[in-house]
């Protein structure tokens, strides 16, 4: 027990500390952006990212995976916030957590075994495309300085690891963010920074019970949203856990992850944050930067709140071009290029499922719908394959005078 705990937390201290720092820096503008999507104050997303990351570090079933406020969850909150306000969102977040804990106890995480590899590949490729598309607003209608900074950032990310000794010690995304920030400050470049995304909070989160009436009318309002948030949150978290399993060649406890996500969302709701789930982009950044243990997730959440509250004057100076370069690296690293090269080798049904999942997710920006379509198609192809499955077995008696045939299928 103690050995497992030590392996989860302290087997990769330097790598986890550095990777967690990179993730924290990349989380800040995303948390602000997702808050804006949901129609709430930026501090709601930042507080949520802090609470969820720190709690999941202890309760989650996949070490090294990053959970925080996400765009997929934010999209489901828009109508609730617009029609009923922030307090009902906090109440819905608490109920989301309860539903996810129940799902964990019913072992719904085991259902991931029935999601085919082609659906997971389609999910990964779609997310890579969405991550890249999300960077395009930062690269349109801007000065040449932004393109130069982004190109320089990508150059540092891919070339810095080639340096002897130091290239393997310090994560290149962290070097990129620090160097480009210093360059932008020294040259006083007129480009968008993290400070332009929204106002950073100046206080730590405090305990906050949602100010809503505790009756069935409130339950009727928040229940449909909570169900949607719970399903999408668990789906994205389970898929991300599967991807990190593959990247690190290690296993994870999906049912514990379900319960861990639920506990984290309850914690977020009680401290003024919105519901969240695992983030594939940040999780890939963490793994690519050397993060493997729970310490990296904990550090990401802790450094996030420390930086936005106590180091906000510095954090505001980070150019968005530096973070765009990091996210482009993530999209390139996330996309399964082997899936394109191996399309000729795979059966047509596998390719159809993978491409359909990508198209639906990218078209709808809804991961749940895309995965549902992929799973449905995979099930139909499997049923068709089983329908044509036929085995004929024959047995003869000891005297070899009679032979009986059995037909299966």
Residue 96: pLDDT over 80: yes
Predicted pLDDT at 92 = 92
- Express each pLDDT in 193-237 by its tens digit: 877 776 777 788 888 888 888 888 989 988 988 988 898 888 888
Check residue 136 and give its pLDDT.
Answer: 85
Q: What is the pLDDT of residues 154-173, one digit of tens each?
A: 998 888 888 887 777 777 88
What is the pLDDT at residue 269? 92
Q: What is the mean pLDDT of residues 24-42?
A: 80
**What average pLDDT does this structure show over 355-374?**
83
Strand 403-408, strand 391-396: pairing: antiparallel
Q: Which of 204, 147, 183 is nearest to 317 (CA)?
A: 183
pLDDT of residue 234: 87
Query: Would residue 322 count as lying in a domain?
Result: yes
Is 389 domain-assigned?
no
What was the pLDDT predicted at 300?
92
- Check whether 121 has a pLDDT greater than 70: yes
Residue 343 scores a pLDDT above 80: yes
Tell me the mean pLDDT in the region 268-288: 88
The pLDDT value recorded for residue 28 is 82
pLDDT (average), residues 94-105: 92
Instruction: Provide the pLDDT confidence category of residue 379 given band limits of 50, 70 and 90.
Output: confident
For residue 47, the 8-state DSSP code is: H
Average pLDDT over residues 42-49: 88
Give the Cβ contact number of residue 176 at 10 Å.
26
Query: Would you say residue 398 lies in a domain?
Result: no
Q: Which residue has the higher pLDDT, 42 or 391?
A: 42
Which residues constitute the domain of residue 252?
2-330
List Cα–Cα distances, 250 to 67, 278, 280, 292, 359, in angstroms.
18, 17, 16, 10, 30
Cα dist. 179→23, 26, 142, 162 in Å? 16, 15, 21, 17
Residue 101 lies in a domain: yes
What does the pLDDT read at residue 270? 92
CA distance 373 to 377: 6
Q: Is 39 left (phi over 0), alpha (psi -120 to 50) or beta?
A: left
CB under 8 Å to 43, separation ≥6 — which residues? Answer: 35, 199, 200, 201, 272
Name which residue leads in pLDDT, 370 or 63: 63
Other CB atoms within 10 Å distance of the CB of residue 110:
12
The answer as to whether 374 is a domain residue is: no
DSSP 196-258: GT-PPP-S--------S--SHHHHHHHHHHHHHHHHHHHHHHHHHHHHHHHHHT----HHHHH
pLDDT digits (tens, 9 = 90+) for 132-148: 887 888 888 888 888 99
In a domain, 384, yes or no: no
Please check whether residue 165 lies inside any domain of the structure: yes
Strand partners, 193: 319
What is the predicted pLDDT for the residue at 409?
59
Total domains, the chain:
1
Taking only the tens place, the pLDDT of each residue in 312-322 is 788 788 888 88
**CA-only gyration radius of the chain, Å:** 24
What are the tens digits of pLDDT across the range 294-342? 999 999 999 999 888 888 788 788 888 888 888 788 788 778 888 888 8
- pLDDT, tens digit, 9 for 90 and up, residues 169-194: 777 887 888 888 899 888 888 888 87
Average of per-residue pLDDT across 79-105: 90
Q: State the Cα–Cα distance between residues 388 and 208, nearest whole angstrom.
A: 59
Residue 264 has pLDDT above 90, yes or no: yes
Q: How large is the average pLDDT for residues 44-52? A: 91
pLDDT above 90 covers a percentage of the chain that reads 15
Q: Which of 2-11, 80-89, 179-188, 356-365 has the lowest mean pLDDT?
A: 2-11
Q: Alpha-carbon distance 295 to 19, whole Å?
A: 10
Structure confidence at residue 1 as a pLDDT band (50, 70, 90)? low
Q: Considering the domain boundaries, does residue 394 fall inside one? A: no
pLDDT > 70 fraction of the chain, expressed in percent and rounded: 96
């Amino acid at each position: 027990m103690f050995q497992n705990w030590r392996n989860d937390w302290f087997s990769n201290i330097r790598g986890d500390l550095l990777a967690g720092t990179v993730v924290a820096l990349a989380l800040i503008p995303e948390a602000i952006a997702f808050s804006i999507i949901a129609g709430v104050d930026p501090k709601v997303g930042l507080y949520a990212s802090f609470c969820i990351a720190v709690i999941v570090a202890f309760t989650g079933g996949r070490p090294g995976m990053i959970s925080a406020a996400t765009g997929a969850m934010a999209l489901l909150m828009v109508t609730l916030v617009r029609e009923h306000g922030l307090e009902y969102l906090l109440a819905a977040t608490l109920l989301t957590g309860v539903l996810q804990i129940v799902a964990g106890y019913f072992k719904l995480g085991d259902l991931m075994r029935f999601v085919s590899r082609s659906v997971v590949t389609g999910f990964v490729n779609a997310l890579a495309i969405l991550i890249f598309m999300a960077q395009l607003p930062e690269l349109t209608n801007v000065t040449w300085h932004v393109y130069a900074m982004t190109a320089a950032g990508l150059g540092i990310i891919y070339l810095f690891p080639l340096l002897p000794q130091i290239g393997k010690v310090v994560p290149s995304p962290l070097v990129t963010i620090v160097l480009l920030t210093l360059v932008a400050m020294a040259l006083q470049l007129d480009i968008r920074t993290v400070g332009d995304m929204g106002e950073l909070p100046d206080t730590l989160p405090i305990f906050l019970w949602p100010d809503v009436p505790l009756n069935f009318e409130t339950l009727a309002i928040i229940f449909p949203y909570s169900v949607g948030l719970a399903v999408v949150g668990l789906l994205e978290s389970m898929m991300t856990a599967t991807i990190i399993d593959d990247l690190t060649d290690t296993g994870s406890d999906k049912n514990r992850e379900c319960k861990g996500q639920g506990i984290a969302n309850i914690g977020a709701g009680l401290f003024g944050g919105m519901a969240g789930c695992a983030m594939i982009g940040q999780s890939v950044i963490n793994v690519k930067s050397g993060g493997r243990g729970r310490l990296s997730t904990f550090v990401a959440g802790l450094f996030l709140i420390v930086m936005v509250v106590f180091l906000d004057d510095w954090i505001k100076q980070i150019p968005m071009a530096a973070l765009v370069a990091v996210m482009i690296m993530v999209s390139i690293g996330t996309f399964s290029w082997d899936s394109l090269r191996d399309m000729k080798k795979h059966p047509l049904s596998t390719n159809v499922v993978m491409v359909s999942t990508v198209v639906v997710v990218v078209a709808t920006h809804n991961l749940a719908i895309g995965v549902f379509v992929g799973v449905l198609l995979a099930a139909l192809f499997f049923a068709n394959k089983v329908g044509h499955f036929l085995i004929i077995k024959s047995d003869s008696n000891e005297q070899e005078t009679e032979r009986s045939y059995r037909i299966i299928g």
